[in-house]
Structure 1
Amino acid sequence: MNYIPEKYWSKVAQEIARRNNGNVIAGDDEPYYAYKRQQFLKVFNKINFRGKSVLELGSGPGGNLREVAQHQPARLVGVDLSRDMLQLAAQNLKNFPVELVKTNGSGIPLPDNSIDVVYSVTVLQHNTDFKMFRLYLEEMGRVAREKVILFERTEKVEQGDDLNMGRPVSTYAQILKKQGYQLVTTQYLPIHVSYYVCGTIRKLFNSKNRIEGEPLSKFSLFLEKATLPVTRLLDPFLILKKEVTKMEFQKTSV
């Protein structure tokens, strides 16, 4: 497919808006992704955001920003390339003091060292063009004053498709090292049994032409609901060094 990020994620935003249920998952609305988000939030909400200036790259419909807002940051900024996503975030965050900024695809429109903590959640993995991936990772490092925290798909070797690319942790570390960052934490979400089982169900029982965000078949939703109570019990016993990985980088020089 011809993947144009802004156009693609604007279409996803329109699908999310059609749900009209306050859903904040920037993609498929299904039992597995709801479970995956629960596991993610257990790790995410342990980050110290209190009193910090915080920026999310690829803020989507605003679910993560809403979580950070409850930690009472000094400043909160969301950056996204989709105007539709920003409009959706504005609706979901109307009761929170958040700055929403559109990027035009050439960087983050903020000064150097202007934000304490800059993070992304499964965003850079969708920058499948390596030049764009490196640009935004470098931009995160430029804007951050203290930390860059990433929750991204990782793999032993670079692999993926037009929509989603897993890269080694070392790729992230090498790029940020040049900007004075050191990798201090690596943590893998315990979701791998559920990931493989639900992923297989999704592929087998839905159209190959279905784009992210569109409704799944009722049968695949039923199967996910039926299998998740079992797979979630097995997840802690199979933690692989891949898929959603927390990578925390500390700035060691300015």
Structure 2
Amino acid sequence: MRPFWVDLHVHTLLSPCGELEMGAPEIAEKAREAGLDIIGIADHNSCENFPGVSEAAKGNPVVLPCIETQSAEDIHILCVFPNYDTALAYKEWLWKRIRPIPNDVDTFGYQIVVDACNNIVKEEETLLIQGAGYEVDQIVAKVHEVGALAILAHVDRPAFSYPAALGPMPADYPADAFELSRRLNYEEAQKWRERYPAPRAFIRSSDSHSLDTLSRANCTKMTLAEPTFEEIRKALRGEEGRRISWPWG
């Protein structure tokens, strides 16, 4: 086993809040330059730019399909899938309760699906940054049902987080991990760890919407045997010697 640098929360130009520079080859190249071993493509309520980024990366870094799901309470859940077919099956379930609100490009930004060379595949017309008609508990349960990982996103933020919507998370909340944002310093992050001690797992992610935040300083170091979804699952659970290094040292 050895250390791997993992960032499971990277947006592309499919997310309306993502910069247009977040194309498939640009993300792959910047992640390599930053020394990242695994990245998760986690657009809002969608996963359709995973194939393009994965093909552009050619295995370096390893790319995992993810979806940053927005619940009915406006809580963001980082959903990490073992493969693209599973992600698509979950998305099909999710979109049964996505309202057909058209995206306003001038207000929210473009929502573009691209291939590995940044050729435009389509422009998503439905607004992606909206709450689906499922509560957070339903989403976490569904993610686990399909064999994926459910991580409560940026729990330290004053908006779009579990604490912002519902108050402090129960200590035994059935998420696989809590995510802290890159903005926290050591002292602030340590308070979260003290509030929710082991075996509760924490990760740090960049939540990148632009290339300049893709960095080892904004992600999580994990001890794994290989860069795979199953190894990450074991690390979150502290199984068989796999582990997460506390992102703040």
The alignment's TM-score, normalised by the length of structure 1, stands at 0.31
Higher share in helix: 1
Instruction: Give the structure-2-normalised TM-score.
Output: 0.32
